[in-house]
Amino acid sequence: MYRLRFLMLVAMILTAAAFRLLPHPPNFTPVGAMALFGGACFADRRAAFAVPMAAMFLSDLAIGLMSGDLSLGLHRLIPVVYGSFALIVCLGFWLRSRRTVLPIARATLAGSVLFFILTNFGVWALGSFYPKTWEGLVACYTAAIPFFPNTLLGDAVYALCSSVA
| Distance set, CA 81 to CA 19, 121, 164 (Å) | 17, 11, 27
pLDDT tens readout for residues 49-108: 998 898 889 889 998 888 888 777 788 899 999 999 999 999 999 998 888 889 999 999
Query: Mean pLDDT of all residues in the chain?
Result: 89
Q: How far is CA 95 from CA 42, 60, 72, 103, 116, in A?
A: 12, 28, 34, 7, 20
What average pLDDT does this structure show over 33-44? 87
Query: What values do phi and psi take at 123, rounded to 5?
Result: -60, -45
Residue-range domains of the chain with CATH: 2-164 (1.10.1760)
pLDDT digits (tens, 9 = 90+) for 93-116: 999 888 888 999 999 999 999 999
Q: CA angle, corner 32, sides to 158 and 77, nearest 5?
A: 145
Tell which residue, 156, 165, 146, 58, has the closest CA to residue 105. 156
Q: Is the dihedral of CA 83, 88, 92, 98 positive or negative?
A: positive
In 75-124, at which residue ranges do the beta strands (DSSP E only) sit?
A: none
Instruction: Report CA 36 to chain centroid distance, whole Å.
Output: 9
- What's the whole-number mean pLDDT along residues 151-160? 87
Q: Which residue has the higher pLDDT, 12 or 92?
A: 92
* Burial of 125 (C-beta count, 10 Å sphere; 0-12/13-18/19+): middle
The confidence band for 1, taking pLDDT boundaries of 50, 70 and 90, is low
Residue 165 pLDDT more than 60?
no
Report whether pLDDT(13) > 70: yes
- Residue 29 region, left (φ>0) first, then alpha (ψ -120 to 50), else beta? beta
Q: Is the pLDDT of residue 164 over 80?
A: no
pLDDT recorded at residue 163: 62
pLDDT tens-place string over residues 15-37 = 888 888 888 888 888 888 889 98
Question: What local confidence, expressed as pLDDT, does residue 162 receive?
Answer: 64
